[in-house]
Structure 1
């Protein structure tokens, strides 16, 4: 069994860009190759059918950029199709559903909706601007849209805004000229800074990683609304220093939650689901590098790969399926500033 991932990164020259990572546990090997050089700061990359979409996390008069590529599974090649402005500075997240691509613009404090045509061409449809601030004057001086995720039923879009300390629910009506309209706002605990969100497999729960307080918050979900059920700390007991929670993932079997914490912590926290539907701490484990901005579980739940922005490497852990615990397997590879991993189907 082997695995393949798109790697998003921050770049320092035209020879860098979007890369592909191959991982073979049987051969105990990791290999990396650049498949789209010249893309500036492709910090978030996703694949859908035969297309790959990437941001260019930069700033300018029209913000950053969103790019589309044709992905050839047999040729293992990316061919650029289109490029369109994100209409906000520093686009940092992408999501896709039913031909609609959503790009979150962190510094722009907004998100843009782009229609993807059958040939992969990109047609801008709508941009929604947030406004406001919160209690952390250094990080929450204005709106900072960090991610946007479709609900499991497909009818709503949940937008996490680190700057306003809110998660916004938008009604999705694809037939309209402006497909998204505000449904409801959900204030977080002041100073939390919601960053990334994901849903449980059964669609009944949402999990939000709060960047500034290093909390993983569990919400119930129903009909476009979320309600807080539990707050789980990502900070080990007795820890002192800077924190910066980054990513949350659910194991394929639904038994475990995983979250990364940067700053001085550099940990992956593991939580297990109990019979009463609550979550409890299993362990805080060293991520094996510096600044674990992103990580991913293999589709079979056997391994976890952690991408470190600052130590510029990707390291591999074996996952124990019964408990969810992670054990490093002494396998890593140097990668220039990796910040996102997206699994490709082989």
Structure 2
């Protein structure tokens, strides 16, 4: 099954467009190749795909802040719209109907909502939140709206409606250990489990998603936590808040976890750690989680994506000059390196869609 792969290159101000072909391809170049490199706005980073409309949304985190919409085609991308943004957005989440994009501003401590169903819309609605929000997820059953606050060591949960959006008046805080830095998160396909990756402590926190009101009247119940790596082996110290890294001579020797993804069958969970250039594999079964092994990948892996058929994992490295393709063993989740293709500088995000 062929796929379109897109990589945002923050330092090159470009979007790399790739084609992932059949595993029966005669060569690595036929299997995974760069089709084109699209000049984009400065500091392009987070992306989201509307599969039904075949649109790729990309955020520029440099002034003038903006969201670009591209039509996906076999030769790459065609810019079809640009929406102004009030701040630099670190992460975006497209609602299932494709009408609304939710965003978080790490620097300005904001949640933001943009109606993209109206091509002429120029207004973004913002809501203040805690320190350094980093990611948003809407639960698969469309009942919960969840975001992380790295600087507050908090996950916040709100009831969600497809008609009215999140209920800010009913927001519930789920505290994490001080200095852990919750960053990215992912639901299990069933929506019964939430996995949260902490950037500075390098752990996966596992929560049960309560179907109704629990005894403590909270939507999430803590189950367990697991380290993503044997950090002593790599000599990695606990991570620091971004504003404290500038004067830190040991920044490259600290935990710096980045991304977390789960296969669509809900069996395998993968995380990345940048300073060790490792992807970790966990076997998961809803609330059960077990660390299995780790793999050395492209330098400073910031983002990973899994193809919808669960056959491939794509890795982008911030300090790498190639994007990596790995085959996923369907029986145990182990990764086998298959191919690389050139990328721009500062590769920061990867997204995939069926071709």
Q: TM-score range by the shorter chain?
A: 0.7 to 0.9
Match of 1:226 in 2: 220
> What does 1:91-102 align with in structure 2 at a 5 Å threshold?
91-97=89-95, 98=97, 99-102=99-102
Q: Which of structures 1 and 2 has the larger relative contact order (alpha carbons within 8 angstroms, sep 6+)? A: 2
Q: Which sections of structure 2, spanning at least 5 residues, go unmatched?
A: 212-217, 237-253
Give the one of 252, 273, 293 matched to 1:261: 273
Task: For residue 341 of structure 1, report the CA deviation from its aligned partner.
Answer: 1.0
Give a deviation string over 1:49-89, Cα, whole Å, max 9, x none: 322211101256xxx322223x143564322313211x22x
The TM-score normalised by the length of structure 1 is 0.85
Residue 283, structure 1, aligned to residue 281, structure 2: no
Give a deviation string over 1:170-192, Cα, whole Å, max 9, x none: 33345559975442111111111
For 1:179 and 1:229, how far apart are their aligned partners in 2? 25
Match of 2:258 in 1: 246
**SS of residue paired to 1:299:** coil
* Conservation of the 8 A alpha-carbon contact between 1:104 and 1:146: yes
Match of 1:68 in 2: 69
Match of 1:18 in 2: 15
Match of 1:308 in 2: 317
Specify which structure has the higher proportion of helix: 2
**SS of residue paired to 1:91:** coil
Which range is displaced more, 245-254 or 21-30? 21-30
For 1:124 and 1:185, how far apart are their aligned partners in 2? 28
Give a deviation string over 1:93-151, Cα, whole Å, max 9, x none: 11111311111111111120011225x444535211124xxxxxxxxxxx111111112
* Conservation of the 8 A alpha-carbon contact between 2:223 and 2:287: no
* Conservation of the 8 A alpha-carbon contact between 2:18 and 2:36: no
Give a deviation string over 1:30-62, Cα, whole Å, max 9, x none: 3224464132222111121322211101256xx
Q: 1:277 to 1:155 in 2, by over 3 A?
A: closer
* Conservation of the 8 A alpha-carbon contact between 1:17 and 1:34: no
Q: 1:33 to 1:107 in 2, by over 3 A?
A: farther
Count residues with an aligned counterpart: 321
**SS of residue paired to 2:330:** coil
Give the one of 139, 152, 158 matched to 2:146: 158
Task: For residue 6 of structure 1, report the CA deviation from its aligned partner.
Answer: 1.8
* Conservation of the 8 A alpha-carbon contact between 1:168 and 1:182: no
Give the superposed CA RMSD. Answer: 2.3
Match of 1:198 in 2: 186
Residue 58, structure 1, aligned to residue 62, structure 2: yes
Task: For residue 262 of structure 1, report the CA deviation from its aligned partner.
Answer: 1.0
Match of 2:43 in 1: 41
**SS of residue paired to 1:238:** helix
Match of 2:199 in 1: 211
Which range is displaced more, 51-60 or 177-186? 177-186
Q: Which sections of structure 1, spanning at least 5 residues, go unmatched?
A: 132-142
* Conservation of the 8 A alpha-carbon contact between 2:302 and 2:318: yes
